[in-house]
Structure 1
Amino acid sequence: MNRMWITGFRDYELGIFNNKDPKLTVINYALNKILTNAINDGCEWLITGGQLGVEQWAIEQALQLKETTFPEFKIAMMTPFIDFGKNWKENKQIKLNALKEGVDFNSSVLNTTYKNPQQLKDYQNFMLAHTEHAVSFYDTEVSNSRAKFEYNAMQFHAKSHEYPVSLLDFERLQEYADEYQLEINDY
């Protein structure tokens, strides 16, 4: 079984506050390409969390691909703890719950409420143990992103395990933007 973890920037870290932001069009294009290539290479599952931003956008793209092209593809949302998202605004909680209902499997890694940061490390360890490769939408030039914790955990894990980690940084995202623009111009 081939399972992939996609994670990265939160929406607010990228300054994306609605679904009409042109940056999101390029991010979704990139995620769609990444998922399509992974599925064509034998990936059977996307396993990710429900964080605002890249994780939720990856689930949305995976659901779209499952509906249109790859019905056999499976999606799991694994949140770190049971009350994940409870402090979010109502519209964000509604979206999280809708995504939970849309995926093939959803659960919390820890069957407790949030108590301490160790739970997030336990979550990372779970994700690393239950996936064979990862994509991190993160740029190492950005030091104040929460995405760096997952990326660092992936890199550390990859040192002692066969665990490929693909980095989708701003330079690579620009390449996707250029590719997207070429596709639009071809129509």
Structure 2
Amino acid sequence: MNVIYITGYKPFEIGIFKNDHEGVKYIKRAIKRRLVPLIEEGGEWVIVSGQLGVELWAAEVLIELKNEYDHVKLGVLTPYLQQQEAWNEANQQYYENILAHADFVDSISKKPYEGPQQLKAKNLFMVHKSDGMIIVYDEEKEGTPKYALAEAVRYSADNPYQIIRISLDDLQQAAEEDQWS
């Protein structure tokens, strides 16, 4: 996989309201565990749409990994212009810090938010421009990642496209491993 799309839950969908929440550590650890082998096998780009939650936590993981794997790059492709406009100041600063470390930043739609069709276009674009995805999602805990997953499943029916899922069980396992060490 040269281009890896990482997506998943928004923080409120899994009851997380601060980036220093204990659960974020386990989500980041689970992402890193799946991402490192892909980078070592030649992964060159990680792309996210820059939404709060799993995508920005994954961007943080990659920024840390760039110290060790200097060939890998971070692309932030937002669904529309100024997606962070309605966020609180702390989240906007956090987002701007991530963007400052990205190798490429652009918006898929060159307009501010107009409607859900921009989010659908984002899912289509991100899946079709990547070789596979890492998705933090569990069918038993429904949320917005289901739309990206549905597009990936549709696309993978006719194209070589790897879908790596991180379930809530995987996150529980990461938490248990942490308690043992």
Supply the AA of the counterpart residue of 1:123.
K
**In the alignment, structure 1 residue 93 sits paired with structure 2 residue 100:** no
Number of residue pairs matched? 181
**In the alignment, structure 1 residue 172 sits paired with structure 2 residue 156:** no
Per the alignment, residue 34 of structure 2 pairs with 34
Please state how far the C-alpha of 1:28 moved relative to its aligned partner: 1.4
Per the alignment, residue 117 of structure 2 pairs with 118
Please say if residues 30 and 170 of structure 2, whose CA atoms lie closer than 8 Å, have aligned partners that are also in contact. no
Per the alignment, residue 74 of structure 1 pairs with 73
Please list the CA deviations of residues 5-31 of structure 1 after superposition, one character each: whole Å capped at 9, or x if unmatched. Answer: 000001111111223322111111112
Counterparts of 2:112 and 2:35, CA distance in 1? 31
Q: How does 1:10-159 map to 2 (within 5 A)?
A: 10-67=10-67, 69-143=68-142, 145-159=143-157
Counterparts of 2:124 and 2:130, CA distance in 1? 10
Please state how far the C-alpha of 1:132 moved relative to its aligned partner: 0.2
Per the alignment, residue 159 of structure 2 pairs with 161
Task: Give the TM-score, by structure 1 length.
Answer: 0.91
Supply the AA of the counterpart residue of 2:69.
F
Structure 2 unaligned regions, length at least 5: none
Please say if residues 29 and 180 of structure 1, whose CA atoms lie closer than 8 Å, have aligned partners that are also in contact. no
Supply the AA of the counterpart residue of 2:166.
L
Structure 1 unaligned regions, length at least 5: none
- The runs of at least 4 aligned residues of structure 1 exceeding 3 Å deviation read 178-182
Please state how far the C-alpha of 1:175 moved relative to its aligned partner: 2.5
Task: Give the TM-score, by structure 2 length.
Answer: 0.94
Per the alignment, residue 9 of structure 1 pairs with 9
Higher deviation after alignment, 38-47 or 166-175? 166-175
Counterparts of 1:122 and 1:82, CA distance in 2? 14
Counterparts of 1:147 and 1:12, CA distance in 2? 13
SS at match of 2:71: coil
